[in-house]
Amino acid sequence: MRKFDLDYFKSFIFKNSHTSETDGNICEMSDPHVRTDESADRGNWANKREYMLSMVGYAVGLGNVWRFPYLTYKNGGGAFLIPYIVMLAVAGLPLFFMECSLGQFSSQGPITVWKAVPILQGVGVTMVLVSTLVAIYYNVIVAYSIYYLFASFQSPLPWSDCFSWSDDKCGITPQVVCNLTSGNESFGMVNMTWITDNNETCPESNIVSVPVQSPSEQYWDLVALQRSEGMEQTGEVVWSLALCLLLGWILIGASLFKGIKSSGKVVYFTATFPYVVLLILLIRGVTLEGSREGIEYYIGTQSNLTKLVEAEVWKDAATQIFYSLSIAWGGVMTLASYNKFQNNCYKDSIIVCVTNCGTSIFAGFAIFSILGHMAHVYGKPVSEVAQAGFGLAFIAYPDALAKLPVSPLWSILFFFMLLTLGLDSQFASIEVITTSLQDCFPKIFKSKGSQLTVLTCTILFLLGLPCVTRSGIYWVTLMDHFCGGWVLLVAAILELIGLCYIYGGNRFVKDIEMMIGIKTSWFWLWWRSCWFFISPCVLIIILVWSLLTFSAPTYGSVVYPQWGVSVGWCMTAFCLIWIPIFAIWKVVNAEGSLWQRVKTATSSTEDWGPYLECNRGERYQKQHCYWRKSSLTSPDTDMCVITNIHSIKL
């Protein structure tokens, strides 16, 4: 054996076993009293602001603007805030805090983080697949926003009236016609203008009011979507939307070209601009006639406390909290994994969750103040102009904006706000994919982050093209119905079971205390109660109830064909099937008897723990000697080094 190189040994001994000799993952000790907690090969956020803005931008999305206000109105107005806040406390915050802590502690993405409980690595794969499918259709919604943003640079707005693109069903007010009976007892409908011009009279019993479609509804269907009659009528690609989709992916690819180093700069604008627009829209909205009625319908005197006895209200509150905070998508873990080890993830979780929920409530005031004005203009109750989902964002609200003075200005602001909200959420979704690939295949992708981002955006753009055909809206609705539902609930339940009952809840608490410091037993009482019992029970109830009350998706009056529903279930199965596959694979590849194999598959791997060696502490230190070929000074030199591994449960 050649002469032992002591200097090389000293430099190597402090490196993490996760990395190679060129990774540079050491804790610099230029000042013996100051430790810099940096990951040289993986990277960290440039500063705390960029992380917080990225996390807020990820959590605050399009659902805060169109889903929460409608659910509040639907479920008793202000009374809905009671179950909403309760569900935030028992389900939202505990799971968000758990995912932030897990990602930051290990500095790993949603797949490799399951080195903690290898048998559940399929849960991480499921999270990545869900984020991939959601990213495909979510960017189509971003494309809708881009399309309407460009269309807003016209005066008057193209959906403000029935122009040449509309058909005879288009109208601002219902058409009144007269039902005339001819001599041969045949019936005919004539408008009241013809009756007046011909000095005829129409008996009051023969006057019929024929419903019409608003200009904004027809513009959405006939111009923007060019929607076909059903899912089976695919039709050609709507090239205007396809180009908007391409632009959306270009914006995302450019923002993520250098990973978090570039996206962290973009979020300074994309995460803050929506609040500026919401404030402007709120100030403008409350000055309009009829705005008070809209706010009262949203969260005022129309509040119905009797709704609190209905289980459906509590289910809607829990579901909204769960999806609004983007729990079990993998994004929370991914963004937190780039934090420094001793970052206060507990404080961050509280701030992000409260900000997200406060934004939802604030957005409701801005939305319903203007919807109240539209209801006043039309002479209708607010309930007839308020719609859910796409209807609120691309039909009802654009219609309301068209009624305002200088309507193009307000429309530009609104749709630019939707664009920034969508881009923020997409940043994290793409980071989930690229980070997972880099963590799982470091030799292939670690140094090719930019190329991987471009390749990912290109593939997802191509996969999204069917969603911008004439039947595209049906595919978007189908994917939203099946991909963002039960799959996430199953993943979150397994996440709780894996960390609390297999990995060890008390052990996980000690892991968190390594980062944020020792806390009292009273501090952990609430979080333990939620992680061990309350949160799993809430999620299981929601999951079972959702399955028992399942109804096939529809788009307006269009019913999906049976094969379309089957495709939806196939997408759900495709995401979930990897959980049992990886569990079986981990057991089969272990050694020993069946019980020993299961025990191995449920025990943390040797390299589980903090990513940087200096952060592993005494709890994760164990001497382990192995032979390694030196590739730097003496290629043929074998040496015994000490690394930190861990396989002890508390």
CA dist., res. 374 & res. 377, Å (int): 5
CA dist., res. 620 & res. 175, Å (int): 76
Look at strands 625-629 and 207-210 and give their pairing: unpaired
CA dist., res. 414 & res. 418, Å (int): 6
The DSSP secondary-structure symbol of 498 reads I
Q: Does the pLDDT at position 212 exceed 50?
A: yes
Q: Does the pLDDT at position 171 exceed 70?
A: yes
Secondary structure of 49-75 in HEC code, one letter for each residue: HHHHHHHHHHHCCHHHHHHHHHHHHHC
Weakest-pLDDT range from 128-142, 369-383, 400-414, 509-523: 369-383
pTM over 0.75: yes
Q: Does the pLDDT at position 130 exceed 80?
A: yes
Weakest-pLDDT range from 316-320, 459-463, 536-540: 316-320
**Whole-number pLDDT of residue 492:** 92
Q: How confident is the model at residue 204 (pLDDT cuts 50, 70, 90)?
A: low
Q: How confident is the model at residue 316 (pLDDT cuts 50, 70, 90)?
A: confident
Q: Does the pLDDT at position 285 exceed 70?
A: yes
Q: What is the mean pLDDT of residues 539-568?
A: 87
List of long-range contacts for 274-280, beta carbons under 8 Å, 24+ apart: 274/60, 274/359, 274/417, 274/420, 274/421, 275/359, 277/413, 277/414, 277/416, 277/417, 278/359, 278/362, 278/363, 278/366, 278/417, 279/366, 280/413
Whether the Cβ atoms of residue 449 and residue 434 lie closer than 8 Å to each other: yes
Pairwise pLDDT comparison (492 vs 43), residue with the higher score: 492
CA dist., res. 557 & res. 609, Å (int): 53
Q: Does the pLDDT at position 531 exceed 90?
A: yes
**Whole-number pLDDT of residue 51:** 93
Q: What is the mean pLDDT of residues 271-298?
A: 88
**Whole-number pLDDT of residue 420:** 93
Q: What is the mean pLDDT of residues 257-264?
A: 86
Weakest-pLDDT range from 294-298, 433-437, 633-637: 633-637
Number of H helices, E strands in the chain: 28, 9
* Of residues 469, 462, 460, 468, the one with CA closest to residue 252: 460
CA dist., res. 341 & res. 38, Å (int): 9
SS3 category, 7: helix
CA dist., res. 428 & res. 432, Å (int): 6
Pairwise pLDDT comparison (23 vs 581), residue with the higher score: 581
Please give the structure tokens belonging to residue 168: 């005879």
Pairwise pLDDT comparison (441 vs 193), residue with the higher score: 441
Weakest-pLDDT range from 15-29, 94-108, 164-178, 476-490: 15-29
Q: What is the mean pLDDT of residues 64-89?
A: 84
The DSSP secondary-structure symbol of 161 reads S
**Whole-number pLDDT of residue 456:** 94
Q: How confident is the model at residue 649 (pLDDT cuts 50, 70, 90)?
A: very low
Q: How confident is the model at residue 336 (pLDDT cuts 50, 70, 90)?
A: very high
**Whole-number pLDDT of residue 252:** 95
Cis ω before 536 (30° cut-off from 0): no
**Whole-number pLDDT of residue 207:** 63
Quickly list DSSP for 382-425. Answer: GGGT---THHIIIIIHHHHHHTSTTHHHHHHHHHHHHHHHHHHH
Weakest-pLDDT range from 418-427, 462-471, 523-532, 627-636: 627-636
Q: Does the pLDDT at position 542 exceed 50?
A: yes
CA dist., res. 508 & res. 527, Å (int): 11
| Percent of all residues in the chain with a pLDDT value above 90, rounded to a whole number | 43
Question: From the CA atom positions of the chain, what is the Rg in Å?
Answer: 28
Binding site residues for Na(+), as ranges? Answer: 57, 59-60, 64, 324, 356, 421, 424-425
Q: Does the pLDDT at position 525 exceed 90?
A: yes
Instruction: State the Cα angle at 86 between 81 and 90, rounded to 5°.
Output: 150
SS3 category, 20: coil
Binding site residues, as ranges? Answer: 57, 59-60, 64, 324, 356, 421, 424-425
Q: Does the pLDDT at position 120 exceed 50?
A: yes
Instruction: State the Cα angle at 327 between 322 and 329, rounded to 5°.
Output: 130
Q: What is the mean pLDDT of residues 446-467?
A: 91
**Whole-number pLDDT of residue 129:** 95
CA dist., res. 154 & res. 156, Å (int): 6
CA dist., res. 604 & res. 616, Å (int): 15
**Whole-number pLDDT of residue 279:** 92
Whether the Cβ atoms of residue 399 and residue 370 lie closer than 8 Å to each other: no
Please give the structure tokens belonging to residue 340: 């420094």
Could you give the strand order of the β-sheet that contains 207-210, starting from the edge strand earlier in sequence?
187-191, 175-181, 207-210
Q: What is the pLDDT of residues 616-632, one digit of tens each?
A: 877 777 533 333 333 33
Weakest-pLDDT range from 62-76, 345-359, 516-530: 62-76
Q: Does the pLDDT at position 577 exceed 90?
A: yes
Residue with tokens 């490799």: 112
CA dist., res. 255 & res. 195, Å (int): 62
Please give the structure tokens belonging to residue 429: 């979704």
In degrees rounded to 5, what are phi and psi of residue 67?
A: -90, -50
Q: Where in 49-140 does DSSP place strands (E)? A: none
**Whole-number pLDDT of residue 180:** 65
Whether the Cβ atoms of residue 47 and residue 55 lie closer than 8 Å to each other: no
Q: Does the pLDDT at position 451 exceed 80?
A: yes
CA dist., res. 76 & res. 525, Å (int): 33
Which residues, at least 6 apart from 407, have a Cβ–Cβ distance to it below 8 Å? Answer: 155, 156, 157, 160, 401
Q: Does the pLDDT at position 66 exceed 90?
A: no
Whether the Cβ atoms of residue 515 and residue 37 lie closer than 8 Å to each other: no
CA dist., res. 560 & res. 101, Å (int): 41
